Amino acid sequence: MKPSVILFYFLMLSLGSGGRCVWAQTLGAVTEKDKIDKLLVAATQESQKSHLLNDLAYFYLGFAPDSAFKLAKQAQKIAQKYHQPDALATSYFISGRVLYEQGAFNLALENYLNALQLYKTQKDLKGQAVTYQHLGLAYQYAKKLPVALDNYRKALDLFGQLDDKAGIAGTLSYIGHLFEKQESYKEAIDYQQKAFTIYEQIQDKTGLAKVLDNMGSIYEDLKDYPKAYEYFAQALAYNRQVNNQVNAVVDLNNLGDILQKQGKYEASLPFFFESLALARKLNQRYQLRSVYRDISQTYFLLGNSPKAYTYLDSAYVMYGEVYNLETARQIAEMQAIYQTQEKDKEITLLERDKKISTLWWYILGVGGSLLFLLAAVIVNRQRLLLNKNRKILEQNQRLFEAEHALQRTALENAHLNEVQLKIELENKQLKQQTLQNELDTRNRELTGRTLTIVQKNEILTDIVTQIQVALRKPVAEKDELLQQLSGMIDKNIQLNKDWNEFQLAFEQVHNDFFSRLQQEYPDLTAGDLRLCSLIRLNMDSKDMANTLGISQDSLRVNRHRLRKKLRLQQKDSLTNFMMTF
């Protein structure tokens, strides 16, 4: 099965946790959102808003995860303030979902475990079951497969206690997928068949399509292409019955892929073209890129080089669109999550400072009262002793001793304050050193990613050279060179994700660099922003041109255009501007 199918199915997990927010899985979700908005406006007490904010977060989870994260955090604060463990558990769970889908597995696990503990306290079996299921997914993608399997089995046991057949079937399917990734195909098939039987009993056609796709993937791995074709065809039929056109796009492409692997190139093309038409209708850019690439490869195998190059070019164009949209979305979402977490930290520090300030005022008030009482006692005693001259010397002696004790205490306090200031200074120095070490580490990571991109573009240069050689070769020799070229492309196509990883790592080291540039200079393109980031890294012109995949002459033209957009004078240095921006 294609990676996009697996990712889609994992994103289609049940939205329910602890039985809340079932409405978000129905066709009336938008209407329910309007109801929640009205209830939030009508709520007269803050304590009434935690569950409503969680429900609204569920609504946004599928298409606006940054909004879902903010709403869950708001619900979390209210639930903590008014001691609402059920709402607090749900808010942790939603936060974990968002962080998981952003690839922040450690933070996702932390939130899931917090939610699980609260569900256990509330004896909420459904909440525990769903959370164990998501813990399994998080551990699986973190490559901790034994721990993932243990969590899946716990989820399976709880769903069994609840007699939740849909939950049981879904968990069995996830366990089967885990065994497939371990290449334990016998166990994988066994679990998928158990899930299929349950989905048949409850007449869940969406679940049946999911299991059939997984079975097709297993038999494709086993190179049993006739069986794989049969399962993908059945999955397509179910998806058409429930009008799941997104999954139908993937199934059609899988069927074409299976026929291609069997050498049935002409027979595979109708499936590819049907998948292509449906993907265009649904504006599924990622699937369009995949189908374009598969059609190109089929025409290469058929010896039709012009069409192969045409569809390969379309695949690259579509990849650029997907890359730019996905990069912008991920940067925006991660920045929103980061800002929310930083605000939470700031609020926590402010609350702590407020408590410390209140404590100091309390201490000063009590101390002032004690001093006042002490002064009153001394004055009263002095009045009494005025009539007793023989006790004047004794009283003076006591006052002298008391004053001496206070001076000694003051000196000791001064020494303690000096020690405390020294410790605070050392702590600040240690923190600065730690931050510097982290910055150095991230800079090294940026350098490593940049070198990877350079390597990728050098490979693309080699591919261009190979194409030029192929064009000069006789027709009889072109097929062999084209096969080598296809292998080289397949081997190195995944390197394109390095730009995405580079931009994320760069933003972590140079906070708000891109957003500040775009705010002050809105005319900058995505290519301009990449050039700005490489100049900020102080790369030389040769490496910069290799990284961007252009000549040094084109680089000079791009730098000149960038200077105009930045409104720099001739005497101003573009490098100095970027280093200090």
Q: At 447, list the tokens.
A: 């350098």
Statement to judge: residues 532 and 462 lie in one domain? no
Spell out the SS3 assignment of 291-331: HHHHHHHHHHHHCCHHHHHHHHHHHHHHHHHHHHHHHHHHH
In a domain, 569, yes or no: yes
**Nearest alpha-carbon partner for 507 in 561, 449, 565, 549:** 449
**What's 114's domain CATH number?**
1.25.40.10
For residues 278 and 27, is the Cβ–Cβ distance under 8 A?
A: no
For residues 271 and 298, is the Cβ–Cβ distance under 8 A?
A: no
Number of domains making up the chain: 3
Cβ atoms within 10 Å of 354's Cβ, excluding its own: 10
Convert the pLDDT of each residue in 100-112 to its tens digit.
877 788 898 999 9
In a domain, 89, yes or no: yes
3-state SS assignment for residue 112: helix
| Cα gap 83→11, rounded to integer Å | 31
- Of 90, 119, 142, the domain-final residue: 142
Q: Which residue has the tokens 């409503």?
A: 52
| Cα gap 131→579, rounded to integer Å | 46
- Of 142, 168, 184, the domain-final residue: 142
Statement to judge: residues 77 and 62 lie in one domain? yes
Q: At 407, list the tokens.
A: 């001076």
pLDDT of residue 13: 38
pLDDT of residue 216: 95
In a domain, 436, yes or no: no
pLDDT of residue 134: 94
Convert the pLDDT of each residue in 83-100 to its tens digit.
999 999 999 999 998 888
Which residues are 43's β-sheet partners? Answer: none
**Nearest alpha-carbon partner for 578 in 523, 528, 542, 504:** 528
Statement to judge: residues 525 and 493 lie in one domain? no
Find the angle CA(398)-CA(400)-CA(403) to the nearest 5 degrees: 110
In a domain, 223, yes or no: no
Convert the pLDDT of each residue in 150-198 to its tens digit.
999 999 999 999 999 999 999 999 999 999 989 999 999 999 999 999 9
What is the DSSP secondary-structure string of 367-434?
Answer: HHHHHHHHHHHHHHHHHHHTT-GGGHHHHHHHHHHHHHHHHHHHHHHHHHHHHHHHHHHHHHHHHHHH
Statement to judge: residues 117 and 137 lie in one domain? yes
Statement to judge: residues 525 and 556 lie in one domain? yes
pLDDT of residue 313: 84
pLDDT of residue 457: 62
Statement to judge: residues 521 and 488 lie in one domain? no
For residues 131 and 116, is the Cβ–Cβ distance under 8 A?
A: yes
pLDDT of residue 10: 37
Statement to judge: residues 27 and 109 lie in one domain? yes
Statement to judge: residues 492 and 519 lie in one domain? no
Statement to judge: residues 29 and 130 lie in one domain? yes
Taking the model in full, what pTM does it have? 0.51
Spell out the SS3 assignment of 445-511: HHHHHHHHHHHHHHHHHHHHHHHHHHHHCCHHHHHHHHHHHHHHHHHHHHHHHHHHHHHHHHHHHCC
pLDDT of residue 110: 93
Statement to judge: residues 563 and 492 lie in one domain? no
3-state SS assignment for residue 20: strand
Cβ atoms within 10 Å of 73's Cβ, excluding its own: 20
Range of the domain at 490: 457-466+481-497
What is the DSSP secondary-structure string of 193-257?
Answer: HHHHHHHHHTT-HHHHHHHHHHHHHHHHHTT-HHHHHHHHHHHHHHHHHTT-HHHHHHHHHHHHH
3-state SS assignment for residue 160: helix
Statement to judge: residues 31 and 93 lie in one domain? yes
253: Cα within 13 Å, side-chain hemisphere: 28
pLDDT of residue 26: 38
In a domain, 26, yes or no: yes
In a domain, 156, yes or no: no
In a domain, 566, yes or no: yes
pLDDT in tens, the chain (581 residues): 443 333 333 333 333 333 333 333 334 555 777 778 788 788 778 888 888 899 988 888 766 788 889 999 999 999 999 999 999 999 999 999 888 877 788 898 999 999 999 999 999 999 999 999 999 999 988 889 999 999 999 999 999 999 999 999 999 999 999 999 899 999 999 999 999 999 999 999 999 999 999 999 999 999 999 999 999 999 999 999 999 888 899 999 999 999 999 999 999 999 999 999 998 888 877 788 888 999 999 999 999 989 888 888 887 787 666 545 444 444 444 554 545 555 555 545 545 655 555 566 566 666 667 777 776 766 677 777 667 767 766 776 777 676 667 767 766 766 676 767 777 777 777 777 767 656 656 665 665 566 566 556 666 666 777 777 777 777 666 667 677 777 666 545 554 566 777 777 787 778 788 889 999 999 999 889 889 999 998 888 888 888 887 889 999 999 999 999 999 998 899 999 998 88
**What's 507's domain CATH number?**
1.10.10
**Could you tell me the maximum CA-CA distance found in the chain, to the nearest angstrom?**
130
Statement to judge: residues 22 and 136 lie in one domain? yes
DSSP code, position 17: B
* Alpha-carbon torsion (215, 217, 219, 222), positive or negative: negative
In a domain, 99, yes or no: yes
